[in-house]
């Protein structure tokens, strides 16, 4: 018996190769009918026997293109029609497309095309198809048609046009479709002169030069990662002495020679999003990420990268953001030539414009789940769905460091790409540019605004009247938003500093959250830090302060901290004792800084969280031993006293690996102790400190062992890059 079904699918199903996928599936199952884009989704009418129909529905969900996201699939029975084939119907003019796909790494088939000498796209760096290629970064307006992208001025040649119009073709309706005849071209500028193309650029990299390469979302600065001189020069010119540099390898095999790689990490590297994945190093790579156990590693994700590696072989290249340190990544040829000239020897340019600026995404994998350090290319503009619709379109402005904002409409929260620190005019300009472009693209005109409570953040001057939400509460709520946690839970937020509700500075917080109420149930015991904001880079001042707070005598302090001049310590002690330039913090970040310095791992930082990251790298001993600590409970409020931990670190300071391991275990034990004391079944972990994989892992193990249900951020950064999601959620739940 034959059936006819109408199937409406919503989610990210347009411009991801969904219609050709449905078409081919229907053909295979001998179904009749059609598929077409419909509003923000896809409409299918299919007719055939019951069995085929069941398989059809099952496989639509199971085998959907990797970058598609099916939110809803509605099926309705229709009466039979006379039809002889299955077709792809062109979209109705009236349909409004709302979902925009993210950029997709070059697919296997396109890789084959560019490696095949007989293919007309042999070594063509802009090859793409419905399964891959640039998307968000080239879209200027919706609906997503070529005319509204930066490909509009390239006229398709007859061969490309035929592919574009043939439903069975891999390039059917692939908006950026092009070839060497009709598409964008590269050019190579060396020492201010035209100097050829890809081959010449690759040769210069081989010779140890630094080359700026235009990619999908912006420029990279590239050089051979095995050429110490080149890397040192890049660091010097970029004024970036220690901050780790991302690497790109030609293939998985070579990655395995340099790094440890598990199956889940390999799958992430090869995924259509192709993020940079933090991998444990197997071999030392000088100057890449000194002091750390890990390196950020990615695979070639555009045909252009692929061709460079075909020429040079699979050995790693440094692929760091093409920007002046602290500023946005360059996107136009002119901008790159102007700003990057002091850094790069040559420029590999092309004439496909980048409309939406986009950095690489960086994440690590733990127990099969992703943990974002930076969320941008491949993931933006993906969204998080709320359980119900919000009343009015809203904008949450995010934090001041590693900013991302969040736009929301109906039941969807769109987190922007990583913007950067809003402490300079260039990044603020980028913030405004991204906000204008994204709100236009998503057609969201916010009427409600939410920001951090800190009066000195950029957001406070930008939208002074916005609703305010406490920094760490926003971190906490970002987990509830992501996982749809409705039940009462205990939120552990271990973070850098943020303004608290009592005008002190918070950062190691325990909140009880129930419906739209919250209560600060505990914190790390506040400690006075001498040195003010300066202590965030001179982290030895945190060490001095923590040691003084735990009643360590000055002689011991001086003996413990190697290479800090005695008179500098005296000055810090004087400031501490006389309350000059002192602040009181309950921040977990400062405690990590103090520990890193007490163990003489790091006294001064040149990039954010350097102390904590180098401390984590030292925690390699196989022990679950902890230092003693105590919980002081007053009227139900728990404060954890770290004084005995500091004493333990001083005692073990000659054995930094053991001490660093015990320090991590102690913090996990401390969190566990508070959770047991509070006895709430669901725990969430959030805040920048949980970018520490070892601490996160230890917390999960301990809490799961004790029967807690534990959640953390998996789709958005747990640091300030995910803050805006929590702020928006606070607005949605009327926390503010």
Measured CA to CA, the distance from residue 290 to residue 299 in angstroms comes to 21
Spell 663-673 as b/e; 16+ CB within 10 A means b. Answer: bbbbbbbbbbb
Segment contacting Zn ion by CB under 5 A, of 73-81, 153-161, 290-298, 586-594: 153-161
Q: Which does 720 bind (CB under 5 to 8 A by kind): Fe ion, Zn ion, none?
A: Fe ion
Q: How far is the CB of 116 from Zn ion (least distance, A)?
A: 13
Query: Based on the number of CB atoms within 10 Å of its own CB, is 734 exposed (0-12), middle (13-18) or buried (19 or more)?
Result: exposed
Q: Is 132 in the site for Zn ion (CB under 5 A)?
A: yes
Instruction: Tell me the C-alpha to C-alpha distance, in Å, between residue 479 and each of 17, 396, 484, 492, 723.
Output: 31, 16, 8, 10, 10
526 versus 656: smaller Cβ distance to Fe ion: 526
Considering only residues 142, 179, 304, 317, which one is a binding residue for Zn ion as defined by CB under 5 A? Answer: 179
Q: How far is the CB of 471 from Fe ion (least distance, A)?
A: 6
Q: How far is the CB of 121 from Zn ion (least distance, A)?
A: 9
- 3-state SS, residue 350: strand
Considering only residues 60, 105, 129, 596, which one is a binding residue for Zn ion as defined by CB under 5 A? Answer: 129
Counting residues that bind Fe ion (by CB under 5 A) gives: 2
184 versus 399: smaller Cβ distance to Fe ion: 399
Q: Is 107 in the site for Zn ion (CB under 5 A)?
A: yes
Q: How far is the CB of 184 from Zn ion (least distance, A)?
A: 11
Place of tokens 């179904």: 31
Q: Which does 59 bind (CB under 5 to 8 A by kind): Fe ion, Zn ion, none?
A: none
Considering only residues 45, 131, 265, 495, which one is a binding residue for Fe ion as defined by CB under 5 A? Answer: 495
Q: Which two tokens stand for residue 463?
A: 């939208």
Q: How far is the CB of 629 from Fe ion (least distance, A)?
A: 23
Considering only residues 9, 42, 44, 110, which one is a binding residue for Zn ion as defined by CB under 5 A? Answer: 110
179 versus 481: smaller Cβ distance to Zn ion: 179
By CB under 5 A, what part of segment 323-342 binds Zn ion? Answer: none
DSSP letter, residue 603: S
Measured CA to CA, the distance from residue 351 to residue 599 in angstroms comes to 51
Considering only residues 395, 720, 730, 733, which one is a binding residue for Fe ion as defined by CB under 5 A? Answer: 720
Q: How far is the CB of 590 from Fe ion (least distance, A)?
A: 13
Measured CA to CA, the distance from residue 439 to residue 148 in angstroms comes to 16
Measured CA to CA, the distance from residue 19 to residue 689 in angstroms comes to 43
359 versus 495: smaller Cβ distance to Fe ion: 495
Q: Is 311 in the site for Zn ion (CB under 5 A)?
A: no
Measured CA to CA, the distance from residue 441 to residue 567 in angstroms comes to 57
303 versus 719: smaller Cβ distance to Zn ion: 303
Beta bridge partners of 295: 279
Q: Which does 495 bind (CB under 5 to 8 A by kind): Zn ion, Fe ion, none?
A: Fe ion
Asked if 100 contacts 67 with a C-beta cutoff of 8 angstroms, the reply is: no
110 versus 561: smaller Cβ distance to Zn ion: 110
E strands, 440-516, are 448-452, 467-469, 489-499, 505-514
Measured CA to CA, the distance from residue 586 to residue 689 in angstroms comes to 13
506 versus 576: smaller Cβ distance to Fe ion: 506
Beta bridge partners of 281: 259
Q: Is 160 in the site for Zn ion (CB under 5 A)?
A: yes
Asked if 612 contacts 592 with a C-beta cutoff of 8 angstroms, the reply is: yes
495 versus 672: smaller Cβ distance to Fe ion: 495
Q: How far is the CB of 120 from Zn ion (least distance, A)?
A: 8
Q: Which does 360 bind (CB under 5 to 8 A by kind): Zn ion, Fe ion, none?
A: none
Instruction: Tell me the C-alpha to C-alpha distance, in Å, between residue 35 and each of 14, 18, 31, 237, 250.
Output: 12, 9, 11, 54, 38
Asked if 222 contacts 319 with a C-beta cutoff of 8 angstroms, the reply is: yes
What does the binding site for Zn ion look like in residue numbers (CB under 5 A)? 107, 110, 129, 131-132, 157, 160, 179, 181-182
What does the binding site for Fe ion look like in residue numbers (CB under 5 A)? 495, 720
């Amino acid at each position: 018996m034959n059936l006819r079904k109408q199937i409406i699918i919503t989610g990210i199903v347009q411009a991801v190769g969904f219609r050709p996928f449905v078409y081919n599936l229907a053909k295979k199952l001998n179904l009749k009918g059609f598929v077409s884009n419909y509003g923000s989704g896809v409409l299918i009418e299919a007719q055939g026997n019951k069995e085929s129909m069941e398989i059809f529905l099952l496989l639509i969900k199971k085998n959907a293109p990797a970058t598609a996201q099916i939110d809803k699939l509605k099926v309705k029975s229709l009466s039979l029609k006379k039809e002889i084939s299955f077709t792809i119907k062109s979209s109705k003019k009236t349909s409004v497309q709302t979902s925009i796909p993210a950029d997709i790494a070059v697919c296997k088939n396109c890789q084959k095309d560019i490696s095949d000498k007989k293919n007309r796209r042999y070594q063509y760096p802009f090859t793409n198809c419905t399964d891959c290629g640039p998307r968000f970064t080239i879209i200027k307006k919706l609906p997503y048609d070529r005319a509204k992208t930066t490909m509009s001025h390239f006229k398709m040649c007859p061969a490309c046009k035929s592919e574009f119009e043939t439903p069975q073709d891999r390039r059917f309706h692939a908006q950026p479709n092009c070839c060497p005849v009709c598409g964008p071209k590269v050019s190579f500028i060396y020492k201010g002169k035209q100097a050829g193309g890809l081959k010449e650029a690759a040769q210069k990299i081989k010779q140890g030069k630094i080359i700026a390469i235009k990619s999908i979302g912006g420029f990279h600065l590239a050089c051979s990662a095995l050429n110490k001189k080149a890397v040192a020069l890049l660091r010097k010119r970029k004024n970036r002495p220690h901050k780790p540099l991302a690497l790109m390898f030609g293939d998985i095999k070579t990655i395995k020679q340099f790094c440890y790689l598990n199956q889940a990490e390999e799958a992430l590297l090869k995924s259509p999003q192709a993020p940079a994945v933090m991998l444990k190093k197997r071999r030392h790579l000088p100057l890449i990420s000194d002091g750390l156990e890990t390196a950020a590693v990615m695979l070639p994700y555009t045909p252009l990268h692929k061709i460079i590696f075909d020429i040079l072989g699979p050995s790693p290249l440094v692929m760091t953001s093409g920007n002046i340190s602290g500023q946005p990544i360059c996107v136009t040829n002119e901008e790159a030539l102007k700003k990057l000239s002091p850094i790069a020897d040559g420029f590999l340019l092309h004439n496909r414009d980048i409309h939406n600026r986009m950095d690489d995404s960086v994440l690590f994998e733990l127990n099969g789940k992703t943990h974002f350090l930076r969320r941008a290319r491949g993931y933006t503009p993906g969204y998080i769905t709320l359980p119900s619709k919000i009343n009015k379109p809203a904008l949450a402005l995010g934090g001041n460091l590693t900013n991302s904002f969040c736009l929301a409409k109906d039941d969807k929260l769109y987190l922007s790409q990583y913007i950067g620190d809003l402490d300079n005019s260039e990044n603020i300009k980028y913030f405004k540019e991204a906000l204008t472009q994204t709100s236009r693209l998503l057609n969201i005109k916010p009427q409600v605004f939410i920001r951090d409570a800190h009066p000195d953040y950029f957001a406070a001057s930008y939208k002074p009247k916005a609703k305010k939400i406490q920094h760490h509460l926003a971190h906490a709520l970002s987990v509830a938003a992501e996982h749809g946690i409705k039940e009462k839970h205990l939120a552990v937020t271990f973070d850098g500093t943020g303004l608290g509700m009592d005008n002190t500075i918070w950062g190691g917080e325990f909140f009880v959250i129930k419906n739209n109420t919250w209560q600060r149930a505990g914190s790390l015991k506040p400690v006075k830090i001498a040195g003010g904001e300066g202590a965030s880079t001179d982290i030895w001042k945190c060490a001095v302060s923590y040691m003084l707070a735990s009643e360590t005598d000055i002689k011991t302090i001086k003996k413990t901290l190697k290479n800090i001049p005695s008179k500098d310590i005296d000055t810090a002690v004087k400031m501490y004792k006389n309350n000059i330039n002192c602040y009181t913090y309950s921040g977990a970040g400062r405690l990590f800084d103090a520990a890193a310095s007490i163990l003489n791992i790091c006294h001064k930082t040149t990039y954010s969280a350097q102390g904590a990251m180098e401390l984590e790298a030292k925690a390699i001993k196989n022990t679950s031993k902890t230092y003693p600590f105590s919980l002081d409970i007053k009227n139900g409020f728990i404060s954890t006293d770290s004084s005995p931990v500091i004493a333990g670190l001083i005692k073990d300071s000659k054995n930094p690996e053991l001490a660093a391991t015990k320090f991590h275990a102690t913090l996990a034990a401390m969190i566990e102790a508070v959770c047991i004391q509070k006895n709430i079944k669901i725990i969430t972990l959030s805040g920048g400190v949980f970018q520490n994989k070892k601490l996160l892992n230890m917390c999960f193990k301990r809490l799961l062992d004790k029967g807690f249900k534990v959640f953390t951020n998996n789709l958005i950064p747990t640091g300030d890059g995910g803050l805006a999601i929590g702020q928006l959620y606070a607005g949605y739940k009327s926390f503010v």
